Structure 1
Amino acid sequence: MLGPSPDWNVGLSAEDLCTAECGWVQKLTKDLLPWDAGTDSGHSYESPNKPTVPQERIRPLTSLDHPQSPFYDPSGGPITALARVLVERIARKGEQCNTVPDTVDDIVADIAQEEIEEGDSTPETCIYSNWSPWSACSSSTCAKGLRMRQRMLKAQLDAGVPCPHTQDFEPCMAPGCSEEEASPCMLSEWISWSPCSATCGMGMRSRERYVKVFPEDGSSCREPTEETEKCVVNDNCSVDCMLSEWTEWSECNKSCGKGHMIRTRMVKLEPQFGGVPCPETVQRKRCKIRKCTRGPRASDRKKAKQDATERRKAKSERESAWATGCKLSPWSSWTDCTRQCGGGVQQRVRPVRKKSKGKCRPMRESRMCNEQPC
């Protein structure tokens, strides 16, 4: 977990450590990129908790172009690795060796005496490890299945005497079906408590233990393997307020004239036990883009509209007189307004389709448009 990120993490999953020859790889090196669990939305380590609804699939982070992201790079490109994991085999235990040693007593002295089960007919010249715990049953129901255990041949003191099998099988059923009592879990001792999560005041600490031997029937252990408890480092310690960095200034809230811009910062840690209180988290400053232009007054716009109406009416009457006996086409579409604000003009015409002996002129009409103030 990359704390205190929204839900970023690094790690490995399902890495294959087997070779093609059914052995173990000697060394594995992996560079780790951050992954997003898809449960919490945010751009930075200081983003507030905001669950992702609906939850997204876990995915690798390849690039983030948000300026507040810790992975942000103005030049672009992929995210570089955050960590590297190295897995290396440092020892090989229990290898089979069929070579008769020069001194049998020396090798027997180096091998611990293993427990010999009753009825075991293993030749004395074959030295084995103890049997491993039984595996889980191959059957997940009450139908009969098989379970297996293994042991390793440590030494064969006489090449002429064959050593019997190193695997053992027996019938079994799924947990809960067998009448035999399963062996209990074998747990290690508790590991020491971890350091307290708080450097001052109340915190939490934890400790763990691991399963040394699982039950022979393949069931899981119910005993807890982790414990947590509260811890106190100092009952009376002051903690000062901690703030994030200021964000960039916002854009001016006015498109013209006087306005203001703001910037903010977040409270990362509230003051405790009389610590220094938090200062302001919002700042404002004035801004002025350009001088606003005033449109015509309402009375001027009304008079201009009346004058235009009178002109259109007079012109229409004249053109109707001229067009007596003329055949005209239908009205055209209105032209675009001559202004986007403050009052403009649109026009349309009726072209002459067929002239007569009298005067024939195209008819025109005008109207006001976009009268809203700029």
Structure 2
Amino acid sequence: MEVFEEPKDLEKSGSGYVQEECVIPCPFDCKLSDWSSWGSCSSSCGIGVRIRSKWLKEKPYSGGRPCPKLDLKNQVHEAVPCYSECNQYSWVVEHWSPCKINNELRSPRCGRGTQSRRIRCVSTADSEGGGVDRSLCNQDDAPPETQACSLLCPSECVMSEWGTWSRCPQSCDPHAMQRRSRHLLRPSLNSRTCGEDSQVRPCLLNENCFQFQYNLTEWSTCQLSENASCGQGVRTRLLSCVRSDGKPVGMDHCDQRNLEKPQRMSIPCLVECVVNCQLSGWTTWTQCSQTCGQGGRMSRTRFITMPTQGEGRQCPTELIQQKPCPVVPCYSWVLGNWSACKLEGGDCGEGVQVRSFSCVVHNGSISHTAVRVEDALCGEVPFQEGTLKQLCSVPCPGDCHITPWSEWSQCELTCIDGRSLETTGRQSRSRTFIIQSFENQDSCPQQVLETRPCTGGKCYHYAWKVSLWNNNERTVWCQRSDGLNVTGGCSPQARPTAIRQCIPACRKPFSYCTQGGVCGCEKGYTEIMRSSGFLDYCMKVPGSEDKKADVKNLPGKNRPVNSKIHDIFKGWPLQPLDPDGRVKIWVYGVSGGSFLIMIFLVFTSYLVCKKPKPHQSTPRHQKPLTLAYDGDLDM
């Protein structure tokens, strides 16, 4: 709630108000660039992501719509899943070269050697088979470019190439076996036996046997049409086939095994359109809360006609404004005190009391002293005869005079630690007898006390309350949970401090002692701290006085007062003055060190220039001193 305070240094206009110009800065929203085009898919086989981005153009200020979360480069990114077929690129191999025997001198030309071939990565969509970058093909499936070979000598056994391994069961049972075989082409001419013609190996998971399953991505962000910024869109997810060792493979591997596919791959979604908060105009000012006197308030309100939607500008919190009313004098009738009881024809018994009334003017506050004025200013007299006169009595000697009953107290319960020990409470009231004569004190009863049961009583808890700080002092009091201020009930150990002190004291200009016990700066100034953590000085914040000023002119506005002294030291590598014109600490250190050096030089000069005293020789004929011990231990 915004409150308009009345300035005290300007003259009032005819309406009773002080008027001065003010500026409320308009909010400026965060501005981002348009989305960039989508990048290529990060994976050439299986599921990857495509990314687009936009960057910050202008930051928000004065309550404008904030920016989304940005990265270190002031950019925001959006990623969507993408899928690339694994068989888009494949390896193409050429024929093996002739086997090159390692030992060229051996005759005949037979034995072990090596052979090579050329491999290329090609696009399956290219009918001409042109080569592409080898990184586009799966490097794990790259065929070997060299292999060992052998040229059999005429006398050696010749076997055919090994056949393909038999298929493992889909469950990859390690007890199941794979087999392959080869057959004899030419027997050996000597006694050597030929090699084995069959081999077996167990079916091991992720080694020579694999399982396959579908992999489903998370839902993407809501994708709109090309030129839309809000409204209906679609969220999608992608399906791929993954081998049991985590390697993405073509979809045909999963399709051949008739695995269950998910049904829904896209769902509709909605992106809320950006709608800024819309407010109604201010209503007219209400009537003053008081018909006269000071302290009255007038208020006006505005309402939210359109709430914020999406990332629109938020509604302000100030929907109510208040201002003080013009002070109008209060005229009222005031009754005087009752006179003494007037009796007719006696010293005790029944009599009459009277009181008078007068017209006064005041400002409506309790502390203000009312001043009597003419009765015509108060208008018609509202009092009746019974208000100005009443019966009274003066007790005769020996009578016992009783006071009226007091008000019933509040319903009280017996409680321990906030818990009631009973369901029915008690109320009490009392009246007292006034003894007119000391001799009749035995005949008059004592104080009369009445109690009655009550319901609705409750246990109270107590809390410390504090006022606002005023010159580092505040008022501290204890308040009961029903709002009654009391003198007991709160814990003395938890009593808040009423006086705050900062050590060292805050003597810098525009500084004050904060609630945390450290020195801070007033509004409009920022703290400049020393390396020790204490306040060095308060520097004025640029633009705190004139918010309409251009930012480029702020350094000129905040130039120190003693700028002429700064001009003297302009160009020095070490500046002896702070921006506010005060001498820096190291200057004091240098001055103190120079003073000590001067004292040392003066003292050294004194010792060097001082004349030595003449040497006093011992007299030639001096009688020696003889001591005698008389047995006294105190010698």
TM range (shorter): under 0.3
TM-score if structure 1 supplies the norm length?
0.21
| Higher relative contact order, structure no. (Cα contacts within 8 Å, ≥ 6 residues apart) | 1
TM-score if structure 2 supplies the norm length?
0.13
